[in-house]
Amino acid sequence: MRAGDLRHQISFEQASEWRDATGQQIQYWGTVLKTWAAIWPLRGKEYLAAKQLQSTVTHKIRVRYQKTIGTNLIHYSHQLGNVASGGWWADNLLTSVTANGMLAPDGNVVADGLVGTAANADHRLNTPIISGIAQSDKVALTVFGEIGNKNWVKLRLAFYDIGDVYLNDVVDYYFDISTGTIGSPIEGGNATIHSYMIEEAANGFYRIGIIASNANVNTAKVGAVFYSAHADNDTDFPGDTTTVNTWFWGADLAKQEYFGYHIPTSGAIAPNEINLNPRHRIKFGTRYFSINSILNPDRRNIMLDMMCTEEV
């Protein structure tokens, strides 16, 4: 097989089973891997042989055999600023947190609320400065957000050198989590936004995210910031020290070029080994395929063949 045969970019997705306020089960799909594949509609003898095993098989999809490690670099993904994080999160002294006060996408009352002080300023939560990236590495930041008394959220990625010196390279993106729409992207210095996401999750939350990189040769670290925002391109407002401005849950920060599956953490970074199996589904453009069976990998070429059914 030629390397050029793997010319279709596909995504493998995995489902989470969450519950809403009534206990109704909700299925939420997230990307676990993007890779290159060969895709063939089944015809002739191969089609007839496949139909004997599974009557609905329509395609064969081939990828390189691999185990992918996704790592969430945020230590407390479900405790955004609350006391359970032991001070790992930081704020700008103009913010407090209402812990475990809202039904999160997973059906538990564990979402944390950002509460602004009376100062007419920005109100935010910051991760520490996190090492492990380099020049031009793509970094994906995501979080689940729900409105409090503010409809807008801003996500920021700021880049630093090995000595924790801020490089003046930063990206911001605004999201309206009342309507599921995007606002303004802002790029500063050598930093570039590659992609964004906003998609409806469960229990009134949206999952929002940005992917960015920094061309500065001194790039060695990154920090993430989550803001409540008054409007698009406007984070300054007075709070009242009591009312939740924005609810947050499930933050992820990973060195990867796609928005991955949410990886919960509690006290340390969390790697997640992905073993492809029929519980995953395949996305190719706007088309989806369910996996009926996975054939043994060809150990000479390290390839994996999957017999699939296109969903309609």
Regarding whether 90 and 185 lie in a shared domain, the answer is: yes
Q: Comparing C-alpha atoms, which of 302, 272, 276, 265 is closest to residue 130?
A: 265
Number of domains, the chain: 2
Percent of the chain with pLDDT over 70: 91
Higher-pLDDT residue of 261, 21: 261
Regarding whether 133 and 78 lie in a shared domain, the answer is: yes
- SS3 (DSSP) at 44: helix
Regarding whether 156 and 247 lie in a shared domain, the answer is: yes
Across 210-225, average pLDDT: 98
> In the prediction, which pLDDT does 45 show?
55
Higher-pLDDT residue of 85, 167: 167
Regarding whether 306 and 177 lie in a shared domain, the answer is: no
Regarding whether 131 and 16 lie in a shared domain, the answer is: no
Question: What's the domain range around 284?
Answer: 3-67+275-310
Regarding whether 91 and 41 lie in a shared domain, the answer is: no
CATH number at residue 192: 2.60.120.260
Structure tokens at 119: 């100062």
Neighbours of 146 (CB within 10 A): 23
Regarding whether 228 and 284 lie in a shared domain, the answer is: no
Backbone angles phi, psi at 48, to 5 degrees: -65, -40
Q: How far apart are CA 255 and CA 210, in angstroms?
A: 12
> In the prediction, which pLDDT does 296 show?
64
